[in-house]
Amino acid sequence: MSGLCEEPAAILAAHIFNSRDHAETGTVFLHYTDLWTQPWVSPFRPESIYWLNEHLKLMKSDPRYLKLVQEGVAMSYYRPGILQTNRGLKWSDLCFLPPQLKVYASRRRFLRLMPDFLLGGLAQIIAFLRSISKNRTT
């Protein structure tokens, strides 16, 4: 991978083609790398509007995509609000526990003892605080 990134073509490519966690004018490809604020995990991220717009178009136009999202919500991979046809927010999103954070919590005894809805609420509070402070993992 490092060899590929050091090729002259890769070095000359503008960062707008691989932007991480923030959108600027001209951004072509936006990564949502912050696990706490990914649009399918938390409703608080300001840049999620780009993803939500495309997601809503796909849900309306592609029944296979809609089925995939429904299955993902049923398995708790995605917050329930992404099935909404509006901005994508449900009250249950405020206590959604992302699967990757559930794995991290399983490694700590005091977090294992917390019910999922409380742990999810804590995760969403952290996501909200990260979002308003523009704190990112990258």
- Same domain, yes or no, for 67 and 113? yes
Q: How many domains does the chain have?
A: 2
**3 state SS of 31:** strand
Residue 10 belongs to a domain: yes
What is the token pair recorded at 27?
A: 């951004």
- Same domain, yes or no, for 48 and 15? no
What is the token pair recorded at 110?
A: 């005091």
Residue 57 belongs to a domain: yes
Scan for tokens 């949502």, then name that residue.
32
Give the domain range for residue 27. Answer: 1-31
- Same domain, yes or no, for 27 and 75? no
- Same domain, yes or no, for 26 and 74? no
- Same domain, yes or no, for 60 and 122? yes
- Same domain, yes or no, for 94 and 59? yes
- Same domain, yes or no, for 108 and 123? yes
Residue 83 belongs to a domain: yes
Residue 94 belongs to a domain: yes
> For 27-47, what is each residue's pLDDT tens digit?
666 666 777 788 888 888 877
Residue 138 belongs to a domain: no
Whole-number pLDDT of residue 95: 93
| One-letter amino acid for residue 77 of the chain | Y
Concatenated DSSP letters of 59-74: HHH-HHHHHHHHHHHH
Of 61, 56, 62, nearest to 83 by C-alpha is: 56
Best-predicted range by mean pLDDT among 44-48, 85-89, 134-138? Answer: 44-48
Whole-number pLDDT of residue 70: 95
The number of angstroms, rounded, from the C-alpha of 14 to the middle of its chain's C-alpha atoms is 24
> For 88-109, what is each residue's pLDDT tens digit?
678 889 999 988 888 888 888 8
- Same domain, yes or no, for 8 and 57? no
Residue 45 belongs to a domain: yes
- Same domain, yes or no, for 54 and 92? yes
Q: Residue 50: which residues within 8 A CB-CB, separation 6 or more?
A: 23, 30
pLDDT band at 78 (very low <50, low <70, confident <90, very high): very high
Q: Regarding predicted confidence, which is higher, 116 or 3?
A: 116
Q: Residue 31: which residues within 8 A CB-CB, separation 6 or more?
A: 18, 19, 20, 21, 138
Considering the chain, what is the average pLDDT of its residues? 80
pTM of the model: 0.73
